[in-house]
Amino acid sequence: MPETTHPLRRVLIVSANPLFREGLRKVYAGRWESKAFIAGMATTMSEALDAIKYHQPDLVIVDYDDKTINRVEFLEHFVSDEAPMQVMLVSLGQSGEVLIYDRKRLTLAQAEAWDPWPGEVS
């Protein structure tokens, strides 16, 4: 298979609920068919951390309602790691907004030029 300039993004799904996990896989695999693939699925915090190291996903979709996943510990790991990655928190129990956290590496010049409130006048 020829190498492309934009390889498929790797996605990891984290949920102990097998129906929710499979539903997420079907929805996102279908929606992102040509852009991403489901690199793995995890059901526990330990599996999730191991899968992140092994698969190095670009996006981790986490079941926000899952009691087996310690969200605080998971997000602490997310903040402390260095690899670029996004985390999407989704809820089966609550409809509404999806929370997305994005960790990017910035050069010093990019960090100095970064404006967290574009369009606002100080």
Q: Alpha helix (H) ranges present in the chain?
A: 18-31, 45-55, 71-80, 108-113
| Sign of the alpha-carbon dihedral angle for 104, 116, 112, 109 | positive
What pLDDT is recorded for position 41? 93
| pLDDT higher than 80, residue 92 | no
Domain-embedded: residue 95: yes
**For residue 108, is it within any domain?**
yes
End-to-end CA separation in angstroms for the chain: 52
Mean pLDDT of the chain: 76
Counting the structural domains of the chain, the total is 1
* Residue that the structure tokens 């991403």 belong to: 36
Task: Supply the pLDDT for residue 11.
Answer: 92
d(CA 96, CA 78): 23
The Cα–Cα gap between 29 and 10 comes to 11
* Strand 59-63 relative to strand 36-42, pairing: unpaired
Residue 80 lies in a domain: yes
Query: Model confidence at 96, in pLDDT bands (50, 70, 90)?
Result: low
Please check whether residue 2 lies inside any domain of the structure.
no
The span from the CA of 48 to the CA of 70, in Å, is 11
* DSSP secondary structure of 61-94: EEETT-TTS-HHHHHHHHHH--S-EEEEEE-SS-
pLDDT at residue 115, as a whole number: 54
* 1 domain-assigned: no
Q: Would you say residue 4 lies in a domain? A: no
In a domain, 42, yes or no: yes
Residue 26 pLDDT? 86
What CATH number does the domain containing 39 carry? 3.40.50.2300
pLDDT of residue 2: 42
pTM of the model: 0.72
